[in-house]
């Protein structure tokens, strides 16, 4: 992916955890690869926790280096990368400080990208301050999640930002959309005659989408206790993945064609009946337990969490899409913290053959499935049945692998690297449009409201397990189970 696009990348929250672990490492990898970033491109970090550029670069050396280049850091590339970085010390709460930022970037080349790696409460003040010094022209702005607490607050932020930046200037980032297997899911469906005819209710029995984390809330207890898993993961990541899986073929891969089809899926989600929430939605909260033999505390004893908190750390949902392609096919969504493994995957279970002369194994559910693994190792695996060697017609499950790191010699591009290059080059297809976000909030809000009104506590689960038993029972009612339970 070559580019001649000159740019000035302004990173708000330049000393924050996201900048250190994801954004700056992604920019370094693009720089190290050569040709992905214009030689004239500059990075301007904005923060108030460093005194000057020298101190900031020391901070970067200490906190960014551990997250780059698994095979070691190329020191020459690292030195030339640091030469791209400038630093501006300002107080984001003081609009007058933005004059210093304007002066620092005034003569720098190319499109300006403003990445807001800050809390959402600062999005609107930063945008107003940028406009006050004329920095909203010839610019793109990247907004990290969460964008609001509910539909009303999300609309308030979008309205305020939309007064300053046009919709085509706004990049609402969801890093799961930048992952290689998600891109390959589109290639598999729309580039091959094999899958698309099967990608419908006649041939698909159910679909599971899981994002599981071994980690707890870490140092984010204050934030997470006012957010919860439904807002933090379902409203954005899981519903975005669902829309990619279920969308109709777009007429092209341009940004609005793709996002139009995703929006149609979100608008076709069957509304959740408040009286049925207990049957189709499970919320849980982890208690003390163990992760790979190491004891870990319960959620309510984590720093920043209220001792009587009823915030959910686990959600499982049964979702239906009311359209011709997917009517009657259950989509099971699941996410949680302190689960048994760190994994993100999409499991497409195809229907068994209608009649088999080969024995009952050919009729069992899950005999044919596609597993798209997003993390930790990015692979696509197609399961089917084959005859075991030897006497008799004994069938066994076998799989075909697309392991990207083995098949393609060139290294994989990390999600943030791909998305940051898309921002610099003005490609919007992998970013969330405002109407998509609104449709997701409209669907999620009745669940949030019912959970708040009912005052029922989340179901407990021990850290290191796969969540409350009710999540498994929900699938059992449909004659299926989560993938790890079958194995």
Q: Say which CATH number the domain at 78 has.
A: 3.40.50.720
Same domain, residue pair 249 and 311:
yes
Total structural domains within the chain:
2
Same domain, residue pair 305 and 363:
yes
* Cα 394 to chain centroid, rounded: 41
Choose the catalytic residue: 128, 237, 287, 478.
237
Question: Locate tokens 């140092």: which residue?
Answer: 219
Same domain, residue pair 416 and 314:
yes
3-state SS of 256-304 is HHHHHHHHHHHHCECCCCHHHHHHHEEEEEEECEEECCEEECCHHHCCC
User: Considering the entire predicted model, what is its pTM?
Assistant: 0.92
Evaluate whether residue 168 is within a structural domain. Answer: no
- CB within 8 Å of 210: residues ≥ 6 apart: 333, 334, 335, 343, 344, 345, 347, 482, 483
Instruction: Specify which residues 171 forms β-bridges with.
Output: 142
For residue 386, give Cα distances in angstroms to 361, 379, 394.
Answer: 10, 21, 8
Orientation of helix 180-191 relative to helix 239-246, angle to 10°:
20
The answer to whether 159 and 197 are in contact (CB under 8 A) is no
**Burial of 162 (C-beta count, 10 Å sphere; 0-12/13-18/19+):** middle
Evaluate whether residue 322 is within a structural domain. Answer: yes
Same domain, residue pair 102 and 245:
no
Same domain, residue pair 239 and 283:
yes
The pLDDT of residue 4 is: 58
Same domain, residue pair 425 and 297:
yes
Same domain, residue pair 338 and 408:
yes
Evaluate whether residue 150 is within a structural domain. Answer: no
Q: How far apart are CA 164 and CA 159, in angstroms?
A: 9
Evaluate whether residue 155 is within a structural domain. Answer: no
Same domain, residue pair 297 and 186:
yes
Evaluate whether residue 151 is within a structural domain. Answer: no
Same domain, residue pair 242 and 132:
no
Each residue's pLDDT, cut to its tens digit, for the chain (487 residues) gives 445 579 999 999 999 999 999 999 999 999 998 889 999 999 999 998 888 999 999 999 999 988 886 667 889 999 999 999 999 999 998 999 999 999 999 989 899 999 999 988 899 999 999 999 999 999 999 998 878 889 999 999 999 999 999 999 999 999 999 988 888 888 888 888 888 899 999 999 999 999 999 999 988 899 899 999 999 999 999 999 999 999 999 998 888 999 999 999 999 999 999 889 999 999 999 999 999 889 999 999 999 999 999 999 999 999 999 999 999 999 999 999 999 999 999 999 999 887 676 666 655 666 789 999 988 888 888 888 887 787 777 777 788 887 666 666 566 788 999 999 999 999 999 999 999 999 999 999 999 999 999 888 999 999 999 999 999 999 999 989 999 998 6
Evaluate whether residue 52 is within a structural domain. Answer: yes
Q: What is the CATH number of the domain that holds 305?
A: 3.30.360.10
Whether 237 is catalytic is yes
Same domain, residue pair 47 and 131:
yes
What is the extent of the structural domain holding 266?
Answer: 177-486
Evaluate whether residue 156 is within a structural domain. Answer: no
Same domain, residue pair 261 and 362:
yes
Same domain, residue pair 208 and 89:
no
- CB within 8 Å of 357: residues ≥ 6 apart: none
Evaluate whether residue 328 is within a structural domain. Answer: yes
The answer to whether 145 and 173 are in contact (CB under 8 A) is yes
């Amino acid at each position: 992916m070559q580019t001649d696009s000159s740019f000035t990348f302004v990173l708000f929250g330049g000393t924050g955890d996201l900048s250190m672990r994801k954004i700056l490492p992604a920019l370094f990898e693009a720089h190290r690869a050569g040709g992905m970033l214009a030689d004239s491109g500059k990075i301007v970090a904005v923060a108030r926790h460093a005194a000057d550029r020298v101190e900031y670069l020391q901070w970067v050396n200490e906190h960014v280096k551990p997250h780059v280049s698994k095979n070691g850091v190329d020191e020459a590339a690292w030195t030339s990368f640091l030469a791209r970085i400038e630093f501006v010390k300002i107080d984001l709460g003081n609009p007058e400080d933005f004059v210093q930022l304007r002066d620092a970037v005034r003569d720098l080349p190319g499109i300006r990208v403003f990445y807001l790696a800050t809390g959402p409460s600062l999005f609107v003040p930063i945008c107003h301050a940028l406009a006050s010094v004329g920095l909203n022209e010839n610019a793109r702005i990247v907004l990290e999640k969460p964008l609001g607490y509910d539909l009303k607050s999300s609309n308030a932020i979008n309205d305020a930002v939309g007064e300053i930046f046009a919709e085509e200037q706004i990049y609402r980032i969801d890093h799961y959309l930048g992952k290689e297997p998600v891109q390959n899911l589109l290639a598999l469906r729309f580039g091959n005659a094999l899958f698309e005819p099967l990608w419908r209710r006649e041939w698909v029995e159910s679909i599971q989408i899981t994002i599981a984390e071994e980690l707890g809330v870490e140092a984010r207890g204050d934030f997470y206790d006012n957010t919860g898993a439904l807002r933090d993961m379902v409203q954005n990541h899981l519903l975005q993945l669902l829309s990619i899986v279920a969308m109709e073929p777009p007429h092209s891969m341009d940004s609005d064609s793709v996002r139009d089809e995703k929006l149609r899926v979100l608008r076709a989600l069957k509304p959740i009946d408040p009286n049925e929430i207990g049957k189709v939605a499970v919320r849980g909260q982890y208690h003390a337990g163990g992760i790979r033999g190491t004891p870990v505390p319960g959620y309510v004893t984590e720093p920043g969490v209220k001792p009587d908190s009823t915030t959910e750390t686990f959600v499982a949902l049964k979702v239906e899409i009311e359209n011709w392609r997917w009517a009657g096919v259950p989509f099971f969504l699941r996410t949680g913290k302190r689960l048994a493994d760190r994994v993100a995957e999409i499991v497409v279970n195809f229907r068994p053959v209608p009649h088999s002369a080969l024995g009952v194994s050919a009729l069992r559910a899950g005999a044919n499935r596609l597993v798209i693994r997003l993390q930790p190792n990015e692979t696509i695996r197609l399961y089917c049945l084959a005859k075991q060697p030897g006497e008799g017609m004994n069938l066994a499950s076998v799989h075909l692998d697309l392991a990207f790191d083995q098949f393609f010699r060139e290294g994989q591009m990390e999600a943030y690297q791909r998305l940051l290059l898309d921002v610099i080059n003005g490609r919007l297809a992998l970013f969330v449009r405002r109407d998509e976000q609104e449709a997701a909030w409209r669907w999620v809000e009745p669940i949030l409201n019912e959970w708040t009104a009912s005052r029922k506590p989340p179901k407990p689960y021990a850290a290191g397990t796969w969540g409350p038993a009710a999540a498994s029972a929900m699938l059992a009612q449909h004659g299926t189970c989560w993938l790890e339970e079958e194995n």
